Structure 1
Amino acid sequence: MYRLVVIDDEYIVVEGIKAMIARKKLNYEVVGCAYDGIHGLEVVQKEKPDLVITDIRIPGLDGLSLIEEARESCTDTVFVVISGYTEFEYARRALRLGVKGYIDKPISIEKLTDVLDMVEKECFQAREENSQLERKRIGQEKIKNLFDQSVRAMTKGSGNVGDFQKYANAAVETILEVYPDVEDFNREVVKYLCVLCDILSESMKQVQRDSLFSYQEMERKTTVEEIQEYARKVIVDLSRYMEADKTGSSHAVILEVLAYLEEHYQEDIGLNELAEKVGMSTAYLSVLFKNEVGTSYVKYLTNMRITQAKKLLKEGHKVNEVSEMVGYSNYRYFSDIFKKHVGLTPNEYKHNY
């Protein structure tokens, strides 16, 4: 609904316009009215309506002077004038002020409807289309920036997995804002993910793009939620390969182990359980893990837990809660391990950071 203010010194004209709009169920809502120019200017400046219909000859401040004053603070408001007069000087001033329409008295439903339809098509719809185009342009620029940031996070030095996930997920959400239609969203997400997968495949020759992304899988996605879920999966997979590459691991079994630890680090995970999961002996997995990752399984898991604990403490969680959340049921043991790695007790860390 477009917001409308009506100004005329004849009460019957103001009420008549209200009644006509209601009767025809036009896409306008009368949010204010006035019977003189001074009060009318106050109403317009307060309401900042989409449209003002004002008589030219009203007491206090004539209609054209009112428009001239109102334009300073209501730059987006459209003005239409009413008059029983056709003096050339009034018409010239109205054109100079950018008045969009003219209704001569007596006002009829047909005259009012014609003017309001014209204003809606020529002013409001055009304005909305321009606004949508501008929003789309801004959104596309944001997508480009997020894409550039996610690529930098993938390729800068050994890569930054946290930044990559942040920028990549933000890019997918922004794509949805700019392309809300499911087919358009799917198409743009496919383009985005394919480039990311190509970049990873180029830097890690042993990884094929087909193992990261499937066109057939995306074709089966028929809802926004399904597309988002698949995009998140691809981004997580890319992150795991980045993490593995950063640690020097290219072994498929170690990739599987690292992915499992990422999701289950807070559980009581033993090397025996992991060895059984990947079908290896415990002794062989222990050696393979250290050779591929560069540290022992226990140290790797401990570092992962301590890193997460620091994050949770910064977020304000209680120390005993954090202990449980990162996989330590014994609070004192957690505190000892934390201090050994960080140099501060969990409480000291929480209050200092």
Structure 2
Amino acid sequence: MYKLVVIDDEFIVVEGIKAMIARMKLGFEVAGFAYDGIKALEVVRETKPDIVITDIRIPGLDGLSLIEEAKEFLPNTAFIVISGYTEFEYARRALTLGVKGYIDKPITMEKITGILASIEKEFEGQKQAIKEEQEKQTLKQALNKHMDQLIHGIIKESADIVKEEAENVLGDLQNQNNNMDEYKNECYKFLCVSLGVFLEQKKQYERETLISYKDIEELASFEEINRYVRDIILRITERLEVSKSGSGHRIINQLLDYIKQHYNKDIGLNELADMVNMNPAYLSVLFKDEVGMSYIKYLTKQRLDHAKELLLDGHKVMEVSELVGYNDYHYFCNIFKKNFGQKPNEFKGCIRKK
């Protein structure tokens, strides 16, 4: 119920308005009344009403002066003026005070109902706006809390915390953003913050290996966006797990030993990933971080270095091609020249001249 105060110097007017409001089926109750401006100010200060209905011409303190003073401590109260006067000065001053409406005498049920219904609708809109803003602030606080915890998880290298808080952040963002474009932008900012903290801790990793705004722009549904975000978070948490356990260096050394012994076989990255129970995409990044070059470049270097040794030992070019794992002779010649600036036969020829 909204509280209402009625102020008029005529007893019959005050009682009439009170009776009309009592008969209405709107959410208002009369919390107080007064017959002069001085008493009215006391009543308004004590009851703190949502609405004040006051005559302009009342003794002690006129209605507009009352409104002006009451506004100082009740800025959100709605004021309605009653007047049989139509002078411009009253209307102009009332407008500057933010008066919600006028009721001219004689006062009728229709006039009271119309203006109070209008104000009630406005109040309900304000309440809804306040509720939405409170919900927005609550969601914002939850998002900030989860982001803080996620950042803490990255710094402490706790993959479990990062995974859990990432899901919480996604939930918060979806609650805040029904528009897909906005959701994409917020998810990108979320990933940038997470990645920025991660890269600050692990400076050896490269940003472009993890995130692309263009990729996010091309996603067509919330599900796809969430999948993309989870994939990036997974890559971060995998690195955190390897970093915290100190197993990254050990795993790569294990694979380097294997490559050294089997460089001439058809070894794929997927096969290596299966050997160490690791995601192929993550292994590719980890390998580059630890070794300084991609797996393909490293395997190629191993093969070609061995090829040079075999050529120095006098083996034929075609034989060397097969021994180092290249069944396509022409491809071997081309890649050899690309790396050393001359074809295998030319390399052999230089050896003979020496």
Q: Which has the larger radius of gyration?
A: 2
